[in-house]
Amino acid sequence: MIRIIKLIVAVLGMASSAQADKPNILWLFCDDMAVNAIGAYESRFADMNPTPNIDRLAWEGIRFDKCYVANSVCAPSRATLLTGKHSHKNGLRGNLEDFDHDQMQFQKMIGQAGYQSAIFGKTHLRGDVQGFDHWETLPGHGKYENPSLNTANGTIQTTGHSSDVITDHALNWYCTRRDPDKPFILMVHYKAPHRKWIPASRFVGAFKDKIFPEPKTLFDDYETRKLAATHAMGIGKHMKVEKDLKADRWQHRKFLLDESLTGEALVHAKYQAYLQDYFACVAGVDASVGRLLAQLKADGIYDNTIVMFSSDQGFYLGEHGWFDKRWMYEESFRTPFLVKWSGVTTPGSSNSDLVQNIDFAPTFLDIAGVDAPGEMQGESLVPLFKGQTPTDWRKSLYYHYYMTQHGTTPHEGVSKGDFKLIRFYGEKTGGTDQWELFDLETDSAELNNLYDNPDMTGKVAELKAELFRLRDYYDVPDEKVGKVQRNNRDGHRANFR
Ligand SMILES: [Ca+2]
């Protein structure tokens, strides 16, 4: 009997040891973090060294240069993160719909492999999350200052800036609540740098003497892209000097209330103020990332923890004159993605394979050693982390945005990395689909819509065929195409073909 007990203890010990060897996952996630805001992406802001802590993940790991989202807006992106599915499959097409929490999500399965899971911060999914061992989430968008947090035991009130609060609470779970004998996935989801870009007080003036380089498209005239001209998120027309730029709150912004400041001079001034606040919020996230990484190092588990950094989508930092997301144009379609996995990722490397946020959930499961369910539509990125991209890796991406908020038009499209084709539908198209084609290698700013160029007939046909193939591959139901949120009062059904 004693020998049997000893045997059981030994077997359990081996299992525990095997679990301890499994890598932990620290998932760092932002809201509206532009690729261009990350220093490691070598954008026009890189010389300002805006993100030294986040950049460490790139210097020690892989920078993904072609990571994209399936639907560039907050809630749908998060639904895709958890389900590994496009919006039409997980049911969350827009920000104003409810998420079905009962459906399959990766965190409901990762515990099979002994992982404990916790999520902190913004989910933007109405209702309580399911499947996490521990969760403390912002209600809706959450507040920047003194946010409340929903928990399994009710709502709690906190004090401080949201980035600090989310980090504090994540660290508290990590240090005092988790089981140190089990691997973990810890998801830390910041509200920053979402509009209205309110930084912690210690960062408010951090960039007020900096001059931010402007994009060449700040005064885009939208020639050849008529639908883009209706986007009501322009720095010139739509950004409010009081509400967005705090001219009524902060002394150093009072000058924006001067009525003699008009026209292009006002746009230049608003752009600078916008980026000062945006980057002050980014600095707060970066400092938080530094705290989390330092704690892992202090505990000796940094090397056995895969650290990933990403955002629910990219963002326009003045490109095309905007301060928003939604469109399939690169700045919002693309999202940052950095991965540090000590001993696996090659330090300072980059990857230009086409990856998408449908891949994140199957990747988490693959790391844990759990088979991803067939209904997940993404692929595991683990081979890419190892520098071993499969020869049959995808050569194109499917995108679909369904809302009409802020003057946008629903659209879907395909990108092959070098060329991109977009189909717009809905009320503003007058019932006739409108198309745009861009050559990303010669026109990275996407100013020149080539759809009607006779020389591009073959390319248009090629990309349309690929779009149709992707719609079949991802099982996009015809009857859903063109259906947008009811409260947008747009019941148009698209005439797809
Ligand atoms: Ca967002």
CA of 169 to the centre of ligand 1 (A): 22
pLDDT value at residue 224: 96
CA of 245 to the centre of ligand 1 (A): 19
Short-list 319, 392, 396, CA closest to 355:
396
pLDDT digits (tens, 9 = 90+) for 412-443: 999 999 999 999 998 889 888 999 999 999 99
pLDDT at 493 over 50: no
Tell me the two tokens of residue 322.
């905007």
Q: Which residue bears the tokens 């970066």?
A: 286
CA of 312 to the centre of ligand 1 (A): 5
CB 281 within 8 A of CB 192: yes
Q: Kind of pairing, strands 411-415 and 134-138?
A: unpaired
CA of 20 to the centre of ligand 1 (A): 34
pLDDT value at residue 39: 98
CA of 35 to the centre of ligand 1 (A): 13
CA of 336 to the centre of ligand 1 (A): 13
Domains contained in the chain, CATH given: 22-199+274-385 (3.40.720.10), 397-488 (3.30.1120.10)
pLDDT value at residue 21: 82
71 phi and psi angles, rounded to 5 deg: -165, 105
pLDDT value at residue 9: 45
pLDDT digits (tens, 9 = 90+) for 377-408: 999 999 999 999 999 999 999 999 999 999 99
| DSSP string covering 340-373 | E-TTTSPTTEEE-S-EEGGGHHHHHHHHHT-PPP
pLDDT value at residue 427: 87
* pLDDT, mean of residues 137-151: 97
CA of 234 to the centre of ligand 1 (A): 17
CA of 95 to the centre of ligand 1 (A): 10
CB 144 within 8 A of CB 89: no
pLDDT digits (tens, 9 = 90+) for 54-102: 999 999 999 999 999 999 999 999 999 999 999 999 999 999 999 999 9
Question: Where are the extended beta strands (E) located within 76-115?
Answer: none
CA of 332 to the centre of ligand 1 (A): 10
Q: Which residue bears the tokens 């001209």?
A: 229
CB 31 within 8 A of CB 324: no
| DSSP string covering 105-147 | -GGGTGGGGT-EEEEEEE---SS---S-SEEEEESTT--SBS-
d(CA 133, CA 109): 12
pLDDT digits (tens, 9 = 90+) for 33-46: 999 999 999 999 99
pLDDT value at residue 3: 55
* pLDDT, mean of residues 482-497: 32
pLDDT value at residue 19: 57
CB-based neighbours (< 5 A) of ligand 1, an ion: 31-32, 74, 312
* pLDDT, mean of residues 462-476: 97
d(CA 317, CA 215): 8
pLDDT at 2 over 80: no
- pLDDT-based confidence at 105, cuts 50/70/90? very high
Least trusted range by pLDDT, from 2-11, 47-56, 167-176, 380-389? 2-11
d(CA 109, CA 114): 10
Contacts of 144 (CB under 8 A, 6+ apart): 161, 162, 191, 192, 196, 198
- The SS3 of residue 283 is helix
